[in-house]
Structure 1
């Protein structure tokens, strides 16, 4: 290889590297040891562009929309990574690092309370509930809901509805292992697979069966239940494989379908 070829090769690498950084703003930005909360609340003089997205927040209390103020996180000499500029609920995320910031981070910047039990001083009780939707779908992540680009998050404080008609459990049943040995690199053909089977809903300790139901060909299931704590396992005895079970206790809240995935052990080792 002559000198001209070497120089051309180096030049090509530099150009490709520059294009990668240009098209990937967070490329080359090392993640610090700071927590998400520390990154979210740090007030910087110059706005970072390593990670830049926008989410929209809507808050409704007893049918009345609450204005999310302009200039949350904006101060005279600096600005936090999570902030607003206008009173329309548009949250700007402009961070030096790509992080999964949450509603909790934003409300800390705002200086207002928010959890599954309280929103802006309004507390959930026997007659009122707090509900969160992301792009129209009810979620049970509350303050742990991640801010994602282009998504609309709506928080409502509203009268409780009849739990029997709106609460339940949904999820997917997966079967594995499907190959006799672990493979490195992993073989896609050996990945866990959706599983159609009959399951039972039980008390958290598994002692009492409350309902029998089935997953479909895609392993998907959905059942309506009242708020409470539950577990899911195979309808068949524990010594019959594949044996399926949920992990830990499943907590169902009023007005929400809780996601609980179920794993089925084939016994293959």
Structure 2
């Protein structure tokens, strides 16, 4: 049953609502300063930056220091939301990060669709970090870089959790239930409407 869910999550992107309902739990969260569940009403213009899900999901999960599982864990089952902005424009968080469909395996950190919802579903209770997820995505994050993009020359990298700027190493930011994380790279004077919350669909 769980393996079927892995395959479904990877293959049926048009059924995102059904997948979220199958994978989620808990009550919805609303906030006027957030954006809608489909991520379309207040996001910045789409960026030309395209960072697809890695072809070898298992290799990237290993690089993040995480295990691949035969089924989604249920001891820890929470969700965070991630927005990424480059030069004022939104970058799509791809579907199937952390999912190896060919091997029918899945990371405790993964995405099913392009909503930006990061599923944290682990067989053990532990902390997971933004750095682990970004490594899985093959867009590693440090204080000085977002994937291939470096700071300096007028460019800055800022990370926000629920609208508040994170002052530490962004890779160390712990993923929390219903947390809104925004990663912003660009000129220091660039105006980006940083979301402080996410309007969670019922069941997530």
Q: CA deviation at 1:38?
A: 8.9
SS at match of 2:94: coil
**What TM-score do the two structures reach when normalised by structure 1?**
0.44
User: What are structure 1's unaligned runs of at least 5 residues?
Assistant: 1-36, 162-269
**What TM-score do the two structures reach when normalised by structure 2?**
0.58
Residues in 2 aligned to 1:100 and 1:86: alpha-carbon distance in whole angstroms: 23
User: What are structure 2's unaligned runs of at least 5 residues?
Assistant: 1-61, 190-204
Alignment of 1:1-269 (within 5 A): 41-76=66-101, 77-141=104-168, 142-161=170-189
Residues in 1 aligned to 2:141 and 2:135: alpha-carbon distance in whole angstroms: 9
Residues in 2 aligned to 1:158 and 1:107: alpha-carbon distance in whole angstroms: 18
Q: Check whether the contact 2:64–2:132 (CA below 8 A) recurs between aligned residues.
A: no
Residues in 1 aligned to 2:63 and 2:148: alpha-carbon distance in whole angstroms: 24
Q: CA deviation at 1:115?
A: 0.9
Q: Higher Cα Rg: structure 1 or 2?
A: 1
Alignment match, 2:18: none
Q: Check whether the contact 1:52–1:95 (CA below 8 A) recurs between aligned residues.
A: yes
SS at match of 1:41: coil
Residues in 1 aligned to 2:63 and 2:136: alpha-carbon distance in whole angstroms: 11
Deviations 1:131-152 (A, max 9, x none): 0111101111211111000010
Alignment match, 2:58: none
Q: After the TM superposition, which parts of structure 1 deviate over 6 Å for at least 4 consecutive aligned residues?
A: 37-40
SS at match of 2:119: strand
CA pair 82-75 structure 1, distance change in 2 beyond 3 A: same
